[in-house]
Structure 1
């Protein structure tokens, strides 16, 4: 789903990235796959985590919203003799694909696939000329729709919050001016304009279009909303003792996961100057001491791992409360329906 600005973007600089599962040993240690267990991989991608989990003896239900990934994974399904079920679905709906008695584990790798980055026709990379698309599911509103139709104020909020772009206003107004005479159709159309409006300085480590492309991808695919809903879905689908493991690549994603586990840990809140506030019953207990980052060796070997953060929790026997999106304090951005309409 998302990637950090700068050199820490998960392939967002457009360079070819061979798919390498990030934090794989740490994911397996937190997930504890074993024979007899059923693990759901909500982000199948190229099948890195799924293959390792199958090798550990567990059965896997794997999801992906990208039909290309589902098609590519059929050979692995055939090779694993009934131990892998591959489903075209968003991970926000993962509880719909869980067995009645619950899952033993859920793993989510919240990063855009290197396969998607490498396919120019998907429009994720500004270094590969292709249609300005960015849709993981190949359905709905595209990045071109957003750039050509969204109000300037909406573009500023999208670029500013989701891309953390300091020049969001300047870029949005330049887009408005250019699209009045000619719509944006390709990745090069947009990247070229941004290069003119905010030229790259010698000290800059990243391309000036990086953050805008990141923001558009997050917005078009509702990546933050999907992640939040997936956490609630995992809470509903996991059996007591089941494990939720999430790997993120962006501060916005990690903030959502951290808030979720903090909210669901049942810890009392308050300050030393005020009476303690009773925490709610815990639905998750933490795994380990908290966030796990990639080692220096892994980050050197796999640039995609540089910004990766892993958080995990063990499901208790407390009933899952009602999903409440307000705990994440997500921004109020334009709706895709309004732009697409």
Structure 2
């Protein structure tokens, strides 16, 4: 009779560890052999889109710690138990049971998706509308025209028409067309000779010639007045100074009325004269800004000589502003 002791000796613990180590090694060997065997087998061709084959492997159960109740044993009993345990026969290792090879589970094909039947849409019945009845044909009866009255033919007229039908009427002869006389050719009139076109003189040349003619006429008049004054003597006219001045201004304005070309300007001159109205000296007191206009106005004052004879008590010179256009 053996007594189970909760506290084993160190030698017993070493034996238990050795047993567990051997059991673990055996299990690993079996697993390795099973894996090699399965790898050598030709794998079955899996179906398309099939899940992988499941392999069942049984593992050894993990050791569980056994809680034993501790009992107090007298030291004499402990020594006896240690001696007995040393003299005990070695425990035979339990042989592991052969592991049954897992049978391969049949591969189930994946369920095929069944297309749901599409219910046809209900077709609405087409209601045929009744065609409108054709309008009744209206038959209109056209009355027949009354027969035309047959004119009675006079037998005498019938004989005359028959006689005329038998008479041959001569066809008219076509006359040849009359020759058309061509009108005589009209003699061509000689073209009139073109007269040479006279060149139009420029306004400047015309004005220069006109000024020269006026200067000659004024020179003659001045000569005549001077001669008459010399013959009659120096007689002062009975004219007021204001009226005399207006006459002089009018004469100078007529003489210097037109400027050469299209220019326009105003210049002031001072000129002296004698008792007979003869202009003796001309000078420019204010310029127009254009030398051509200034020279033209001074020459116009000289051409205006002689001016009306000055009355008594008038200065022998006069300042006058002249404008030409």
Quickly name the TM-score band, shorter chain normalised: under 0.3
TM-score (norm 2): 0.19
TM-score (norm 1): 0.18
Q: Radius of gyration: which is bigger?
A: 2
Structure with the largest fraction of helix:
1
- Higher relative contact order (CA closer than 8 Å, sequence separation 6+): 1
